[in-house]
Structure 1
Amino acid sequence: MARTIAKDHDQKRAHILKAAARVFAEQGFDRASMAVLAKECGISKANIYHYYDGKDALLFDVLDNYLRALRDRLCGLDLSGLAAPAQLRLVLREILLAYQGADDEHRVQSTAMRALSEEQQAILRDYQRDLVQLVNGVVTANAPGVFDHDNQRLREVTMSIFGMLNWHYMWQGDADTDARERYADLVADLILGGVRNTPQ
């Protein structure tokens, strides 16, 4: 007979994922053990194995949940009816707001993703690719003709945007909503002023 799923299964799983992200971010994926993870979660080692059969499965679920939710939130934005600069500002603001409270997951993404199998990494890269395409689109809309037949330069601008946003937590991790929106607007101003004056 199949084991029934507890009513609080999803809540406990979410708690495990958050605790695991914190441990992986602080200790590093390689050094973290299932025993330490279980202790951080406040459950027994046997209980954590009820949810995950090992660190790899747990790491993948941390990143899959984080990146999928990030992709769904951003790619689900309604940009219709907005002028191109407003589209860029909205997307950049939403990226920084989505990062709020997810510093651990963000660090794990940048440091531990390579520990996963190629198949698992491919799934996660698909989420990342969707996000890059979204930003590519709003950048291109703000500089008609600038990136025609120059995908490399478009990629460089897009990845520069992610660079400015992704490392924001390093010097202002406790930023509130207003501070995040101000910084997103600063990045938008830099991009708008730059790409429009880039030699073709």
Structure 2
Amino acid sequence: MARTIAKDHETKRALILETAARVFADQGFDRASMNMLAEACQISKANIYHYYSSKNALLFDLLETYLMQLRDRIAGLDASGLTAEQRFRQVVHEILAAYQGRDNEHRVQIAAMHVLTDTEQVTLRGYQRDLVRIVRQNIAQLSPGDLARDKPRLRSVTMSVFGMLNWFYMWNSSADRAERERYATLVCDLVLGGLEGAAHSGSFPNFPGSEIAADKTA
């Protein structure tokens, strides 16, 4: 007979993931133990193992849940009736809003994703690339001249947007929604005001690190 799922299964899972993000971020994934996590969750270690067979399995679920939710939130925006500029502004504002309160997950993503298997990392990077692709497509629809067809230059503009958003996220994590809205508007104004110049500047190399940089966003 298959084991029945407890009514509070998802509630406990969410508690474990939220707590694990904080413990892994504060202690470092290598130093954090399941005992530490159980104490922080105020549940038994056996209870955690009921959900996850190992610390690495917990790490993967933590990062997959975070990145999938982020990707789905941006991909699910309703852009009906919006102009290309309005769609771009909508996406940029929503990304910065979605970052709010997710400092721990972001820190764990940067510091610990490398310990996962290659297959697991490919899965997680797929969510990251989906997010990058959404922003790149929005920029391409706004771009004058040949910028939309110049893949290296378009990629660099796209990653510059993430660079600005991640700068604010890393250094102003306590900012409230209003502050995030103001900064998102600034980013949009800078990008929209600079696209004409980016379209007509000199040749731009396809830096080999640009695809790796895409994996570090969100």
TM bin, normalised by shorter chain, reads over 0.9
CA deviation map 1:98-135 (0-9, x unaligned): 11111111111122111111111111111111111100
Q: Within 5 Å, which residues of 2 pair with 1:7-46?
A: 7-46=7-46
Q: Tell me if 1:179 matches 2:171.
A: no
TM-score, reference length from structure 2: 0.87
Shift of 1:148: 4.0
CA deviation map 1:138-174 (0-9, x unaligned): 1111113342432111111111111111232332111
Q: Which residue of 1 aligns with 2:110?
A: 110
Q: Aligned AA for 1:63?
A: L
Judge conservation of contact 2:144–2:195 (CA < 8 Å) in 1: no
CA deviation map 1:19-65 (0-9, x unaligned): 00111111111111111111111111111111111111000000111
Q: Tell me if 1:54 matches 2:54.
A: yes
CA deviation map 1:61-96 (0-9, x unaligned): 001111111111101112232122211111011001
Q: Residues 38 and 138 from structure 1, CA distance in 2 versus in 1: closer, same or farther, beyond 3 angstroms? A: same
Q: Tell me if 1:155 matches 2:165.
A: no
Identity %: 61
Cα distance in 2 for partners of 1:130, 1:171 equals 25
Judge conservation of contact 1:142–1:196 (CA < 8 Å) in 2: no
Q: Between Structure 1 and Structure 2, how many residues are aligned?
A: 200
Q: Which residue of 1 aligns with 2:204?
A: none
TM-score, reference length from structure 1: 0.95
Judge conservation of contact 1:147–1:154 (CA < 8 Å) in 2: yes
Cα distance in 1 for partners of 2:125, 2:191 equals 25
Q: Residues 84 and 149 from structure 1, CA distance in 2 versus in 1: closer, same or farther, beyond 3 angstroms? A: closer
Q: Residues 103 and 143 from structure 1, CA distance in 2 versus in 1: closer, same or farther, beyond 3 angstroms? A: same
Q: Structure 2 stretches of 5 or more lacking a match?
A: 202-218
CA RMSD of aligned residues (A): 1.3
Q: Which runs of 4+ in 1 moved over 3 A?
A: none
Q: Structure 1 stretches of 5 or more lacking a match?
A: none
